[in-house]
Structure 1
Amino acid sequence: MLSYSDVDVPRGRIAPWLAAPLRKNRAIYTRVALAAIMINVFSLITSLFTMTVYDRVVPNNATDSLIGLTVGLVLILLFDFALKLLRAYFVDVAGARIDRDIGKSIFQQILDMRLDLGRSSTGGLAGLVREIETLRDFFASATLTALVDLPFIFITLAVIALIGGNIVWVPIVLIPIVVVTALISQPVMQKLSAETLGEALGKQAVLVETIGSLETVKSANAGGMLSERWDKAVMGHAGVSLRQRLISTISINMAGTMQTMAYTGVVIFGVYAIQARTLTMGGLIACSILAGRAVAPLATIAQLLTRINSARTAYRQIDKMMSQPPEGPAGEGIQLHNVTGGIEFREVDFRYPNAPELALTKVSFRINPGEHVALIGPIGSGKSTIARLIIGLYPPTSGLVMIDGTDIRQFSPPSLRAKVGALFQDNVLLTGTIRDNIILGRDDVDEAEMLRASEVSGAHDFISQLPNGYDLRLHDRGEGLSGGQRQSIAMARALIGRPPILVLDEPTSSVDTETEARLIHRLKNEFAGRTLILITHRPSLLNLADRVIVMARGRVAMDGPTSEVLRQVTRPRPSPQIAKV
């Protein structure tokens, strides 16, 4: 769960991922600012209209003038109404564009995220992406209106001074009280905004974790533990949110109180001005209206300052994620085309993020193109880690991982993974049809290839019996399918397109012995001429391998032909030293 120490204030400059969409919509925001200026001008005209009616029309019974003034005011009000609609429309258009552009950049950054740098929880990351809305709201109409209203405070005061003279000192004295109150509360608001975001992300993390693993939560009877976490997260978020609202309310209410005092103060002192014949009745009414308008923007400014703190905190956290270097080379990277499938590990060390020990230590081996190699060994020996390094999910901490003699860190990650078919133990299916889950939007794969890969993996055997077949829509990671069915679909996804390199981690862990035997028979022809890295604990699968590498404690303990290695591992050994057979 995030804490205040994890959520702090941002750097001064605006990052490119935010600056570019703002510049792109600069013309729209210019129109919005012009509309806001006109709306403020119209508000002054309304006050002047009132003063003219009381001072000129009423004493002289000038109804013709009143009709003319009324027609003009109606036209101004209609124009004002149209401007407000246009302003709202332009702000919504700009907000939608910014939302789309920033959202696209952030989603791409998530796809390109380097796993070796560590990552927050799924819920925390999802909650962080939702903070785009906070940034979008900050650049909405209220923000621009508040910024445009600031200069009009001085213009309004100037108009009051022209009409009422010294009466202008009433709002001038009250305005600094509102400003000082808002500024005094900002350090506290800044801290509370950071705490609020941290608590909100923590609450989101608990919620997403619970929903995503609800079946496990129920079966393991973990509801009590998660309920306690949820209650703690909700109470923490509610408490800090309450404090934030209370502090922000002080500034907002102070501005409202000063607005009322400005209006009544002008009325009170205006009476004496009328008695001294320095102010007319119409002038008093106009000044009282204008005095309220002079202070009114400060209430918006108080709200804006609160919004600034939330936006700054959200910006800081999103920018922290966006500032992480993406996976792959700094440039475009090498595009793989003709891959023969040679793989080499040269003195490779690897440590998972925040792990106390190395997962791999000085691992070296070479796999020739088209060779079939099985990785065996106890749990935690580094077999799956080798598979992850081959497809570039993690870069080695030191040493080289090479394909066809080239360091894989020079390859474009999408280009590399297009040439490697991978199947891991966690067979996650995406929301969509079975067809979508196998093809994954690839334009170079047709339906005939999808059917071929499904038949090899055994998925076609049960898909052909479904009412909707390959168009069956899956939800929530393939819920409703058995483990073996999900594994078959995931294997078809790995085999489709005939990638020259295959990395299969426990490909038959969820199927029965009979199904495994049929699958092995089909896979023998499928693997011909292609490089295979097979991770397994099942002896029956070793018939698919020409060579076996035995892993122990992150090191290569044995490496050689399948028959020789099996003979060695079944015979008592005097010492655990590395052997080459």
Structure 2
Amino acid sequence: MTDQPLLVAAKERFAPWLIEPMLRNRQTYIKVAMAAAMINLFALVSSLFTMTVYDRVVPNDASSSLVGLSIGLGIIIIFDFILRLLRVYFVDIAGANIDYEVGDRLFAKIVALRLDQRRGSTGTLTGLMRELETLRDFFASATLTAFIDVPFILVTLGVIAMLGGVLVLLPLAMIPLVILAGLLTNPALDRLSARSLGDGLVKQSVLVETIGNLETVKASGAGPMLNERWREALNRHSHSSLGQRLLSSIAVTVASSANTIAYCGTIIVGVGLLRNHMITTGALLACSVLCGRSIAPLAQIATLLSRLSATRVAYRQINALMQTPSEGPAGDALKPVVQGRIELRNIAFRYPGASEKALDQLSLTIAPGEHVGFLGRVGSGKSTLARMVLGLYEPTEGAVLIDGIDVRQFDPAHLRHQVGASMQDHALLAGSVRENICLQRAHVDVDEMLRVAEISGTHRFMGQITNGYDLRLADRGDGLSGGQRQSISIARALAGRPPVLVFDEPSSAMDAQTEADLIGRLQEEIQGRTFLLITHRTPLLRLVDRIILLEQGRIAADGPRDAMLQRLTRGKVA
């Protein structure tokens, strides 16, 4: 029997990214349900044991019967112990599987997220990953265990009715009270949970921003400002969390009080029934024990209702992220071998929230193997154009074509394996220098790594370090100079000989001699490949044959390198 109909139905109903992993673990949950059912049945045995001892064993001094009952009870206790351990084990196994699948799916979604659809700061996105724990606990372990126990309330009440008659009315009267307390606190909990989650994400955002830019924070003296933001975020989050916890405790406290009332009421009423010989002493004791067991699952439900609001808010946040459009085509993605022809047709683009267009009706064609330099003032659209070619952003108007194919039809990972990019920030990843260059690409072996390291200049300083290419880097390559990070970034872009290269200010942190050496080595390396260079440094223009001047997102001038440099020198470029 196939799972496909179930998966399709789940997708149509509710959160397929969460329900599908749960359905795939349904065999485990069936085992959990069976174990929970047996545990609830075993819970009745201790009460019946108490009743039998007081009603049969004590009056008749039946020691041999007590031994037999004790042996039977001992066997049940052992099985109950084993079943409880198995229930926890199976729930944890299923929970771990769901954590892995949902977490993996969410991480893949973040990586594939279209940059123009990104909402919130880095801290906000990392905070959402933490909310997976809330969802997993509610929809997997806690909810399942509680709702399996709920039907056995009826079984327990039925046993109380058989043993104590009207005594069943006392726990029965407490059930609506507990449910009502949970329902009445839910609307306010919704508001407080949303506020608490939002405040928590703001706090996370401040923390991540500070730690990620600690050197800048210290050097610029931004510590007091961030301290103030942190204190404000702590204050807001502590207040909203306090209100949430206080309100959520109401339903739980009501359930606890209801349990006490039902238990004591059973004893008080039971004494009267016992005097009138309507029940036995054993029945009264058994009913008092069962009374607590009938309310206990409701206390779990009350706890779940108090957590429902936080879970609902977390679900909305994560589900909104999961429904955000991913980059790449909706259907089958193309994976052609790139030759290097690039064409921009009437491109227009505006960053989310920006008032002005970064690119405005820009059109150009770059032939395979052509070397083109892009010049322009800050904010003229040079880096944006590079992002368009890489498919990091989609144009709001027009199309970007590589070899006549719209980049939106490419498989994003395949496209970026065909385009080597060294972007302006030159950020490195935590890990070894080897990992930063190779990126676990199968076609980049040790020989290729050493070749591109020699070209980029990385080998000149890595060969003098004890750990060499196994040197572990901190986040973003902290501990290396700006020029060293740029060299590693260039090596990463060159690795694998991609047919298209996009370099954005590749030598901005290098000294003149290092830059001159790099230019000499790159001149041979980029032969036969399409090369896009964004720079403000004149020496690098030796690498290009054509220069395009951008101004306010448009092409102000386009021509051969030497002619363009002469015009720029004379200041006659319009």
> Taking structure 1 as the reference length, what is the TM-score of the superposition?
0.95
Aligned to 1:115: 115
Aligned to 1:4: none
Encode CA deviations 1:347-386: one digit per residue, 9 max, x unaligned: 1111111111110011111111111110001100001111
- Secondary structure of 1:183's aligned partner: helix
The Cα of 1:331 is off from its aligned counterpart by 1.6
Distance 1:211 1:572, change over 3 A: closer
The Cα of 1:140 is off from its aligned counterpart by 4.3
Deviation larger for 420-429 or 166-175: 166-175
CA distance in 2 between partners of 1:172 and 1:506 (Å): 75
Q: Does 1:187 align with 2:217?
A: no
Deviation larger for 328-337 or 72-81: 328-337
Decide whether the 8 Å contact of 1:95 with 1:139 is kept in 2.
no
The Cα of 1:168 is off from its aligned counterpart by 1.4
CA distance in 1 between partners of 2:529 and 2:219 (Å): 41
Decide whether the 8 Å contact of 1:29 with 1:90 is kept in 2.
yes
Q: Does 1:369 align with 2:361?
A: no
Decide whether the 8 Å contact of 2:248 with 2:307 is kept in 1.
no
Alignment of 1:443-458 (within 5 A): 443-458=442-457
Aligned to 2:510: 511
Aligned to 1:7: none
CA distance in 1 between partners of 2:12 and 2:146 (Å): 21
The Cα of 1:308 is off from its aligned counterpart by 2.0
The Cα of 1:257 is off from its aligned counterpart by 0.9
Distance 1:12 1:63, change over 3 A: farther
Encode CA deviations 1:45-69: one digit per residue, 9 max, x unaligned: 1101100000000000011111000
Aligned to 2:390: 391
- Secondary structure of 1:335's aligned partner: coil
Encode CA deviations 1:130-177: one digit per residue, 9 max, x unaligned: 111111111344322210121111111111111111121111222221
Aligned to 2:32: 32
Deviation larger for 309-318 or 453-462: 309-318
Aligned to 1:296: 296
- Secondary structure of 1:477's aligned partner: helix
CA distance in 2 between partners of 1:414 and 1:295 (Å): 55
Alignment of 1:101-250 (within 5 A): 101-250=101-250
Encode CA deviations 1:380-430: one digit per residue, 9 max, x unaligned: 000111111001101111111111111111111111111111011101111
Encode CA deviations 1:503-555: one digit per residue, 9 max, x unaligned: 00111101001111111111110111111111111111111110100001110
Decide whether the 8 Å contact of 2:251 with 2:306 is kept in 1.
no
Aligned to 1:570: 569
Alignment of 1:417-432 (within 5 A): 417-432=416-431
CA distance in 2 between partners of 1:543 and 1:141 (Å): 64
CA distance in 2 between partners of 1:297 and 1:405 (Å): 65
CA distance in 2 between partners of 1:457 and 1:565 (Å): 28
CA distance in 1 between partners of 2:144 and 2:248 (Å): 20
The Cα of 1:33 is off from its aligned counterpart by 1.0
Q: Which amino acid aligns with 1:449?
A: E
Deviation larger for 302-311 or 460-469: 302-311
Distance 1:140 1:329, change over 3 A: closer
Aligned to 1:8: none
The Cα of 1:119 is off from its aligned counterpart by 2.7
CA distance in 2 between partners of 1:523 and 1:406 (Å): 28
Encode CA deviations 1:215-261: one digit per residue, 9 max, x unaligned: 10111111111111111111111111111111111111111111111
Deviation larger for 118-127 or 562-571: 562-571
Encode CA deviations 1:118-139: one digit per residue, 9 max, x unaligned: 3321011000011111111113
Aligned residues: 564
Aligned to 1:579: none
The Cα of 1:572 is off from its aligned counterpart by 4.1
The Cα of 1:432 is off from its aligned counterpart by 1.0
Aligned to 1:87: 87
- Secondary structure of 2:378's aligned partner: coil
CA distance in 1 between partners of 2:118 and 2:72 (Å): 65
The Cα of 1:34 is off from its aligned counterpart by 1.1
Decide whether the 8 Å contact of 1:193 with 1:313 is kept in 2.
yes
Aligned to 2:97: 97
CA distance in 2 between partners of 1:506 and 1:198 (Å): 38
> Any stretches of 5+ residues in structure 2 without a counterpart?
1-10
The Cα of 1:446 is off from its aligned counterpart by 1.4
Aligned to 1:415: 414
- Secondary structure of 1:362's aligned partner: strand
Encode CA deviations 1:286-338: one digit per residue, 9 max, x unaligned: 1111111111211111101122222221111111000012101112311022x
Aligned to 1:520: 519
Decide whether the 8 Å contact of 2:182 with 2:306 is kept in 1.
no
- Secondary structure of 1:203's aligned partner: helix
Encode CA deviations 1:9-41: one digit per residue, 9 max, x unaligned: xx9942111111000110111111111111111
CA distance in 2 between partners of 1:222 and 1:52 (Å): 74
Decide whether the 8 Å contact of 2:134 with 2:311 is kept in 1.
yes
Aligned to 1:78: 78
- Secondary structure of 2:79's aligned partner: helix
Decide whether the 8 Å contact of 1:92 with 1:140 is kept in 2.
no
Aligned to 1:477: 476
Aligned to 1:497: 496
Aligned to 2:57: 57
Decide whether the 8 Å contact of 1:87 with 1:141 is kept in 2.
no
Distance 1:90 1:73, change over 3 A: same
Decide whether the 8 Å contact of 2:95 with 2:141 is kept in 1.
no
CA RMSD for the aligned pairs? 1.3
Quick one: percent identity of the two aligned structures? Answer: 56
Decide whether the 8 Å contact of 1:36 with 1:148 is kept in 2.
yes
- Secondary structure of 1:352's aligned partner: coil
Decide whether the 8 Å contact of 1:336 with 1:419 is kept in 2.
no
Aligned to 1:554: 553
- Secondary structure of 1:436's aligned partner: helix
CA distance in 1 between partners of 2:431 and 2:262 (Å): 61
> Taking structure 2 as the reference length, what is the TM-score of the superposition?
0.97
CA distance in 2 between partners of 1:266 and 1:521 (Å): 93
The Cα of 1:435 is off from its aligned counterpart by 0.5
The Cα of 1:344 is off from its aligned counterpart by 0.9
- Secondary structure of 1:334's aligned partner: coil
CA distance in 2 between partners of 1:281 and 1:474 (Å): 74
Decide whether the 8 Å contact of 2:342 with 2:402 is kept in 1.
yes
CA distance in 2 between partners of 1:63 and 1:142 (Å): 42
Decide whether the 8 Å contact of 1:423 with 1:494 is kept in 2.
yes
CA distance in 2 between partners of 1:480 and 1:167 (Å): 74
- Secondary structure of 2:476's aligned partner: coil
- Secondary structure of 1:507's aligned partner: coil
- Secondary structure of 1:139's aligned partner: helix
Decide whether the 8 Å contact of 2:114 with 2:325 is kept in 1.
yes
